[in-house]
Structure formats: C-alpha cells, structure tokens
A and B are shown apart, each in its own frame.
Chain A
Amino acid sequence: MSKRAGQEQFLILLDEHKKILFKIANSYCRQASDREDLIQEMVLQLWRSFGRYDPRSRFTTWMYRVALNVAISFYRRETRRPRTTTLDAQAVLQLSPQSRESEAASRDADGQLLESFIRQLNDFDRALVILYLDGNRHDTIAEILGISETNVGTKIGRIKQKLREMSAADEGEAVGHGTR
C-alpha cells in the first residue's frame, strides 16, 4: 500500500473512532490545552505505529492500546519537553461551540461524580474504568491491558466497591449539610 493510500485509510479509521481519543484525553487531563496536547501526541503515535497494525485484529483494540499507553506515559515524562509539532495553533479534534455549552449545562451531579471518581483513580485503574465504561468485555480489557481476565474481574469489583463508598460519603456529607 502506498503512503498516501495508507494515510487515507488511517484518517478514515481515525475519524470513525475519534471518540476514543476524546474520552481518554478527557479522563487524563483537566486543562483543555493539555487535552489538545495529549490528543496530538496520541494521533502522531497512532500514525507512527499504523504501519505495523495488522488488519486481521480489531482496530479499536489496537487503538486503545496505543492511545492509553501514550496517555499514561505522556504526563509522567513527555510534556517536560518543549512542543515542536506543527499542530500547535489549532486542535486536531474540535468540539462544536454549541455542544460545549450544552455539555456544561447538562453536567449534573452524576456527571460530576463520574468525573471526580475517574480522576481519583491511579493511571492503570483509570484505563480499566474507561475500557469498562466503553462497554468492552473482560477478555478484551485483559488483552488491551496485558493482565489476566480474572484480574480484570477482581479489579472491577474493587473499583465498584470504592465508588459505593465514595457515593455513600457524598450522601452522608449532603445529609450533614441539610440538618445543620
């Protein structure tokens, strides 16, 4: 396949699954500028790795692996270097202005709880939760993370328990405020 044809195929697949990048960046970065940086780095790494992608395997599994690997390592090391990409001035993935407003308006208690819960998790549990919330099966999650299926089940159980405790603590706090 020529480089041009490969690039076109890559862009089609990327467009089809762009939500994955957005959700990962949103879960790992609080600041909008950091999210853009991370998305750029994920896209570039996906493109660099695309030559080795085997079309017989699922594109999303491959994409999750590359994108999550970049997300986990990016903010540990790589942002310490100055940005040298040509993408600085504009964002690769853009959210329409209307949807940005409606998203902010619709951020209810559940949305805030979900956001703060995800941000409390460590890098690996966060990756696990993203994969679980995206509806991936335990065997797929295990394949992406490189751990056993049993381990995935155990970790999801622990995360569920942690969420219950956090939710109970929030409710307790709300009741405490109400009775004061």
Chain B
Amino acid sequence: MELDELKSRWQEQDKKLDDCLRLNQRLLRESLLGKSDTALRRLSRLLWFELVVNVAGAILVGSFLGDHVTETRYLIPAIALQLGLIAVIVAGARQLATIAGIDYAAPIVEIQRRLETLWLQRIRTMQWTLILSPLAWTPLAIVAMRGLIGVDVYSAFGLAWVAANLVFGLLVIVIAIWVSRAYADRLGRSPLIQRLLQDVGGQNLAAARTFVKSVSEFAGTLPN
C-alpha cells in the first residue's frame, strides 16, 4: 500500500463530505455573539484575576512593612511574604506576555513552541507555589494576625509554636514531593487533583520538556 493510493481514497471520501456535512448556522450565530470563549482566553482571564489579587496582597504587605520596619520579628516574615508575592506577580505577568504573543494563525511549529513555553511557565509557577505554600503559612499567620486584628503571635502562642509550624511546613513539603512522585497516577480520580500532584512531582514538567524537544525535532533543529 502506497501513500498516494491512500490519497485517492481520502479524496474520494472528501467529495462525499460535500453532500453530507451541514453547518449548524443558527447555533453558530448564537455562539459567536454569545459568551463562548476559547481556552486561552479563559486562562488569560484567570491570570488577570490572579495578578490583581497578588498585587493587592503586595500592597497590603508593603503597607505592613512600612509600619513595622523597625521590628525585626515582623519585618522578616513580611519580607518573606513580599518576596513570594513579587515572584508570583512576575511569573503571572510573564505568562500574560506569552499569551499576548500567541496568534493561532502563525505557523504551527512556532505556535506549538510558544504554547509549550506558556505551559512550562505555568507548571513551574504552580509547582513552586504548591511546594512553598506550607512554609508560607507561618509568616502569613504572623503578619495577618498582627495587621488585621492586632494580635502578636509570638506572645499569644509562643516562639515554640512558630518553630513547630515551620518544621511541620518543611515536613509537609518533603512528604508531598515524595507522595506526588510515587503515587501521582494512582491518587485522586479528578483530573485536576492528578494534574496538581503531577505538577508537584515534576511529571508534567518532564512531559512539557519532551514535547518541546519533539517540536524542535520536527522543525529540523534537532537530529531525529
């Protein structure tokens, strides 16, 4: 069997399609005018929302920093939180910039590379956010309780409580990475939970890198 024989067969089927395919014009008109949206635009909206929330958070923490600049016990957790927020804001802004550069009408190799770059950025952000969030809890509790209700966590719960929370956070990180690497495919039936586990475990990052390599191979920039 030759590819050109299959080509004739494909083109025979193609002629038949003319008569039997019907475009649902009414449905299309409704959807084009309606709220239907593409996946990329939904992601863009989510990123804008995340950006606004994180910028608002950074402003609040910045104000807290200004008020407690001379108190080391508040300054250190606030700086840690602020650095985390700035990193997340930069990552979100980079993803939005990548999305802005995506035009689906560009050549396939170029767009698939850009989409995969976006995906890599998203996975890395998610991976670091999930990994570091158990550690962020302690500075967040110190800053939020002082800033919102005026409670001093150090005096209310003691230094031992603060240290225990930090150690517990570290343990959670180690266990989460181990569980994600070992059981990501088996835990959780929901695709969302599986994706989060695979983000933490690094499987999604590896898959995205493999895809980028296959794009380069196809484009002829890497040997097959």
The answer to whether A81 and B39 have CB atoms under 8 Å apart is: yes
> Contacts A11-B25, A19-B17, A85-B31 known; A159 to B3 CB distance under 8 Å?
yes
> Contacts A19-B18, A86-B34 known; A163 to B111 CB distance under 8 Å?
no
The answer to whether B109 and A147 have CB atoms under 8 Å apart is: yes
The answer to whether A132 and B112 have CB atoms under 8 Å apart is: no
For residue B33, give the distance in angstroms from its CB to the closest CB of chain A: 8
For residue B95, give the distance in angstroms from its CB to the closest CB of chain A: 13
* Cβ contact of B109, chosen from A15, A74, A145, cutoff 8 A: A145
Q: Interface centre among B17, B31, B104, by most A CB within 10 Å?
A: B104
The answer to whether B191 and A94 have CB atoms under 8 Å apart is: no
Q: Interface centre among B2, B3, B9, B112, by most A CB within 10 Å?
A: B3
Q: Is A29 an interface residue (CB 8 A)?
A: no
The answer to whether B1 and A164 have CB atoms under 8 Å apart is: yes
* Cβ contact of B108, chosen from A49, A86, A113, A144, cutoff 8 A: A144
For residue A75, give the distance in angstroms from its CB to the closest CB of chain B: 11
The answer to whether B2 and A146 have CB atoms under 8 Å apart is: no
For residue B8, give the distance in angstroms from its CB to the closest CB of chain A: 9
Question: CA separation between A151 and B20, bound complex, in Å?
Answer: 36
The answer to whether A65 and B3 have CB atoms under 8 Å apart is: no
Residue of chain A at shortest CB distance from B194: A80
Q: Is A60 an interface residue (CB 8 A)?
A: no
Interface residues on B, range: 35 or more
Q: Is B71 an interface residue (CB 8 A)?
A: no
Q: Is A173 an interface residue (CB 8 A)?
A: no
Q: Is A105 an interface residue (CB 8 A)?
A: no
For residue B58, give the distance in angstroms from its CB to the closest CB of chain A: 28
Q: Is B115 an interface residue (CB 8 A)?
A: yes
Q: Is B220 an interface residue (CB 8 A)?
A: yes
For residue A170, give the distance in angstroms from its CB to the closest CB of chain B: 8
The answer to whether B214 and A122 have CB atoms under 8 Å apart is: yes
The answer to whether A99 and B16 have CB atoms under 8 Å apart is: yes
The answer to whether A41 and B39 have CB atoms under 8 Å apart is: yes
For residue B216, give the distance in angstroms from its CB to the closest CB of chain A: 11
Question: CA separation between A55 and B21, bound complex, in Å?
Answer: 25
The answer to whether A81 and B42 have CB atoms under 8 Å apart is: yes
- Residues 124-180 of A at the B interface (beta carbon under 8 Å): 124-125, 127, 129, 132-135, 143-148, 151, 155-156, 159-160, 163-164, 167
The answer to whether B24 and A93 have CB atoms under 8 Å apart is: yes
For residue B124, which residues in chain A have a CB less than 8 angstroms away from its CB? none
* Cβ contact of A114, chosen from B9, B40, B103, cutoff 8 A: B9
> Contacts A65-B108, A99-B16, A163-B1 known; A80 to B192 CB distance under 8 Å?
yes
For residue A117, give the distance in angstroms from its CB to the closest CB of chain B: 7
Q: Is B142 an interface residue (CB 8 A)?
A: no
> Contacts A19-B21, A43-B28 known; A124 to B215 CB distance under 8 Å?
yes
The answer to whether B36 and A87 have CB atoms under 8 Å apart is: yes
> Contacts A76-B211, A91-B24, A143-B107 known; A11 to B18 CB distance under 8 Å?
no
Q: Would you give the 0/1 interface string for A98-120, flagging 1 where the beta carbon is closer than 8 Å to chain B?
A: 11000100000011011001000
Please give the residue numbers on chain B whose beta carbons come within 8 Å of chain A beta carbons, in ascending order. 1-3, 5-7, 9-11, 13-14, 16-25, 27-42, 103-112, 115, 119, 191-192, 195, 211, 214-215, 218-220
What would 24 A/B residue contacts be, using CB atoms closer than 8 Å? A11-B29, A14-B28, A19-B21, A45-B38, A53-B105, A69-B106, A80-B191, A87-B36, A90-B24, A93-B21, A93-B22, A94-B22, A94-B23, A98-B20, A99-B20, A110-B6, A111-B13, A124-B109, A133-B7, A135-B7, A147-B107, A160-B2, A163-B6, A164-B1
